[in-house]
Structure 1
Amino acid sequence: MRRTLVTVVAMAVITPAALAACGKDAKQDSAWVGTPAASGSASAPAKSEPVTESATVPVSLALTPATGKTGVPLSTEIGVKLAGGKITGVTLKDAKGAAVPGKLRDDGTSWIPGRTLSPNQKYSATVVATAGDGQTTTQTTSFTTMGKPGRKTGTGLYLFDDRTYGVAMPVVVEFSPGVKKADRAAVQRRLFVSTSPAQPGVWSWTSSGTQAYYRGPEFWKPGTTIAVRVAVGGLPTGGGRYGDRDRSATAKIGRSFEMKVDNASKKMTVVQDGKTVKTMPVSLGKKSTPSSSGVMVVMEKKEATVFDTTDTDGDEGYVTDIEFAQRLTWSGQYIHSAPWSVGSQGRRNVSHGCVNVSPANARWLFDKTLIGDPVTVKGTGDKLAYGNGWTPWDLSWAEYIKGSALPVPAALK
């Protein structure tokens, strides 16, 4: 009997197809995550060319889109080709003279509007460059955006504003339909993350292109603030489609809380801030429905739910009330209260793939955990499938960065 559950904690546009395992909720909920991008959230301040003391170096400045260009995507950036100085000002205004906020890219090659541009709108951009002797050069361009896109790529961000997450919480962006390999680099260039304190990371795509993850080489430091902007509103995503909207969120990382499950001992060890705080017996998936081994994270928490497998298992299916359920995979692997298996916990595996614990231990865990807390299961007869849940930590760093559509900085290789 293999179960599925389609609900998610911080659901984006779509839920990946359920695969199979322990449970499926009787009801299904979903919610958009993130808010329209805040101005200026695109990137850090630009790095410009060194300014020399010589006043003889001429400034060369050229802009894109070209003046008079029409049908420009709503995601367009003001491209800057500069030599002999540094950019000291960029202004973008709509037809009514209202300014659009934005920031330069880190490399200074373009200026990114802080929000999606309006369709069928004329915009004018003014860019000022300053030479080493203080002389300024100004260039302008004007263009008209395309109409409202007819075909869109649905997007979602699994992150809520002002929430606190576990140290393994990846940034997860979802796309429907998935983005093909040829189009991923352009999309990835519009995915921005900043952390405080700074902890560099890399984006990596699942093979289907339906999800892109962001993580660093190690779990986030407790207390970290993560700010995300998915600036894909109006962005060409391939196949004549355009991103549906910009999304953003700012969240925090809480204390370190790790759950380590060992099939050999049939025990879970709980480590908080580097210290073991509790151990408890568990019962994992039986031979016919083994639990997956791998590094997972808590994706969803439900104090009470219903596992219903009748739609997938037919006459062999069942409907069971479940308490203190914490989702680990899309296919339905959970940590949950299992009073019926207390006698087997610590001794033998009897579940349908879930991590069974006693009611008291299930409540204790439920009260302690955060979405994004890491859960490592080892020693079972099944390996976690990449993409079956928020799985970027299940790959080594060397394997993980292979999924980036852009070159990885040398310092992070």
Structure 2
Amino acid sequence: MRRSAPAGRRGGGRLRLAVTAMLAGTLLLTAACSGGGDDDKPSWQGGGNGSGAGASQAPSAGPKLSTVAVTSPATDATSVELRSEVKYNSEDPQNTEVTVTDAKGKTVEGTLDKDGNAWRPAEALAWNTKYTVTVKTPAAEGKNNTTTSSFTTMKEPSDLVRVTSFLADGQTVGVGMPLIMKFGKAIPEKYRGEVERRMPVTATPAQEGTWRWISPTEVQYRPKEYWQAGTKVFYKAQLKGVKLGDNAYGRSDLTVDLKIGRKMVMNVSNKTKTMTVEEDGKVIKTIKVSLGKKSTPSASGTMVVMEKAAHTIFDTTDEDPVNGYKTPIDWAQRVTYSGQFIHAAPWSEGVQGRSNVSHGCVNISEALGKWLFDRTLMGDVVTVSGTEEKLKNGDGWTNWNMSWEEYKKGSYLKN
């Protein structure tokens, strides 16, 4: 007969089995919950080299809040120039809004360059005024992402430079008319390029052109070719608060809106002693002329009508007290600073078309002097050819008396 194990021994066996199972479970739990590095992690927790199909990915990050900051002008900056741009940082520039307000809370007009992260005022800001900048991007993660900054513009300086335009709104001028801007004091060379940048010219239809410095106080603009007949021209000087010298600033802005008339060109030939008048490419009149005699020759070159007077007096006695003269003149049209005019000269009508007897002017008859005077505009082109003397650049509006390549050299904006 088989003997049974004692009860104590049977119970002890079951106890050993339970302890063994519990220890094994403890070891598995320890292996799963502890470890010194990635190599100790099971593959299903992203550790070790496991990459089985059952591996899960780490949870993705939530939406990131875009941050903004004003970088220029610095917060609470003072003496800021009137045309300074506002620079900012943004992680979402295409959806960033920029608002600038003055001390009264009025919004300042400006343009936003989202690619360059810059806001630029449409006009000069006011002197000695506090402005507040607000930069904002769309809310993210329930937060309103907005920043503000303030700055104060410079006080009005004592040295302000007056800027004036020779032409005014509403004028109609000839196809050779240069745009002329003058300054109340000399502009040093290092500031001239910035002045040109601040004086944009818009022509409709569009035409290539450039400014050229005639002197430290005067700059003129012409297109590459004569203005197209009927062109609308708009130009502006955005110079208020712009530095025009070491301690000088522009006093104000100005704009001019004008029109180019029909194309009229007067071609004077010393060889034939005639003036051929062309309008829009067609000859409308041929006029007999008398030019300057050998001792006082007319200048050959390309000029424009600068000034018109129906009746005036030529007085040269101040320049030449001995041989000077005072003579009443009708239908005078100035083409040079030095005194070359187109005008009626009834005393030379008998030789007009045959010989030269003037002091350098273009003489025409009384009747044709009025006919021409009634049809010309300031800025109409006059060419004289075949005389003993050449026109000196600068003796009048001689913008067309040089090539385009030569003319461009007078600009401080280098392409």
Give the superposition deviation at 1:380: 2.2
1:324 is matched with: 331
Question: How many Å separate the matches in 2 of 1:260 and 1:87?
Answer: 60
The answer to whether the aligner puts 1:258 opposite 2:270 as a matched pair is no
Q: Distance in 2 between matches of 1:311 and 1:109?
A: 63
Aligned residues: 347
Matched ranges for 1:62-77 at <5 A:
64-77=72-85
Deviations, residues 194-221 of structure 1 (Å, cap 9, x unaligned): 1111113222222x33222222211111
Shift in Å, 1:319: 2.2
| Structure 1 position 275, deviation (Å) | 0.8
Structure with more contact order per residue of length (Cα contacts < 8 Å, sep ≥ 6): 1
| Contact kept? 1:336, 1:355, Cα under 8 Å | yes
> C-alpha deviations, 1:246-273, integer Å up to 9, x for none?
1211011111111111222221111111
Decide whether aligned partners of structure 1 residues 220 and 315 sit closer, same or farther in structure 2, where only a CA change above 3 A counts.
same
Change over 3 Å in CA distance of 1:313–1:93 after alignment to 2: farther
Q: State how far apart, in whole Å, the 2-side matches of 1:172 and 1:178 are.
A: 15
Give the 5 Å matches for 1:32-111. 64-78=72-86, 85=93, 91-103=99-111
Q: 1:72 to 1:357 in 2, by over 3 A?
A: farther
1:238 aligns with 2:253: no
CA distance in 2, matches of 1:209, 1:263: 36
2:410 alignment partner in structure 1: 403
Give the whole-Å Cα distance in 1 for the aligned partners of 2:342 and 2:358: 11
TM-score, normalized by length of structure 1?
Answer: 0.74
The equivalent residue for 2:206 is 198
Q: Find the aligned partners of 1:362 and 1:230 in 2 and give their Cα distance.
A: 38
Name the SS of the counterpart of 1:288 in structure 2. coil
CA distance in 2, matches of 1:365, 1:104: 52
Change (3 A) 1:266 1:237: same
Query: Which structure 2 residues correspond to residues 329-368 of structure 1 after superposition, within 5 A?
Result: 329-368=336-375
Pairwise CA distance, 1:94: 2.3
Per-residue deviation, 1:69:
2.5
2:170 to 162, 165, 169: 162
Change (3 A) 1:308 1:278: same
Is residue 289 from structure 1 mapped to residue 289 from structure 2 by the alignment? no
Q: Is the 8 A contact 1:261 1:378 kept in 2?
A: yes
Superposed, 1:115-130 pairs within 5 Å as: 115-126=123-134
Q: Tell me, which stretches of 5 or more residues in structure 2 are unaligned?
A: 1-62, 139-143
Superimposed CA distance per residue, residues 283-308 of structure 1 (whole angstroms, 9 cap, x where no aligned partner): 22223332222211112222122222
Kindly indicate whether the alpha-carbon contact (under 8 Å) linking 1:59 and 1:85 is maintained by their aligned counterparts in 2. Answer: no
- Cα drift, residue 102 of structure 1: 4.3
Equivalent in 183, 195, 200 of residue 187 of structure 1: 195
Please state how far the C-alpha of 1:355 moved relative to its aligned partner.
1.6
TM-fit CA distance, 1:61: 7.9
CA spacing shift, 1:263–1:112, aligned 2, 3 Å: farther
Find the aligned partners of 2:339 and 2:95 in 1 and give their Cα distance: 52
| In structure 2, C-alpha distance between the alignment counterparts of 1:85 and 1:195, rounded to whole Å | 33
Report the more deviating stretch, 330-339 or 378-387.
378-387
CA contact (8 A) 1:86 1:129 kept: no
Shift of 1:352: 2.3
Judged with a 3 Å threshold, the aligned counterparts in structure 2 of structure 1 residues 234 and 343 are, in CA distance, closer, same or farther, namely farther
Q: What is the alpha-carbon distance in structure 2 between the residues aligned to residue 390 and residue 320 of structure 1?
A: 25
* Greater fraction of residues in helix: 2
Partner of 1:210: 217
The 2-side partners of 1:263 and 1:239 are apart by 50
How many percent identity over aligned positions?
48
Q: Would you say the 8 A contact 1:61–1:137 is kept in 2?
A: no
Amino acid at match of 1:400: Y
- Structure 1 residue 144 corresponds to structure 2 residue 152: yes
1:247 corresponds to which residue? 254
Instruction: Choose 136-145 or 178-187, whichever is displaced more.
Output: 136-145
Q: CA RMSD in A?
A: 3.2
The structure with the larger Rg is 2
CA shift in 2, pair 1:349/1:251, >3 Å: same
C-alpha deviations, 1:308-354, integer Å up to 9, x for none? 22222224322222221112122222211111222232222222222
Q: CA deviation at 1:164?
A: 1.2
Aligned mates of 2:229, 2:235 — CA distance in 1:
18
1:384 positional shift: 2.3
Instruction: Show the counterpart of 1:372.
Output: 379
TM-score normalised to structure 2 length:
0.74
Cα separation, 2, equivalents of 1:82 and 1:298: 56
- When residues 366 and 100 of structure 1 are mapped into structure 2, their CA distance, relative to the original with a 3 A threshold, is farther
Return the offset for 1:368: 0.8
Q: Show the counterpart of 1:314.
A: 321
SS of structure 1 residue aligned to 2:413:
coil
Q: Which 10-residue stretch deviates more, 351-360 or 315-324?
A: 315-324
Deviation at 1:383, TM superposition (A): 2.4
Match of 1:345, as an amino acid?
Q
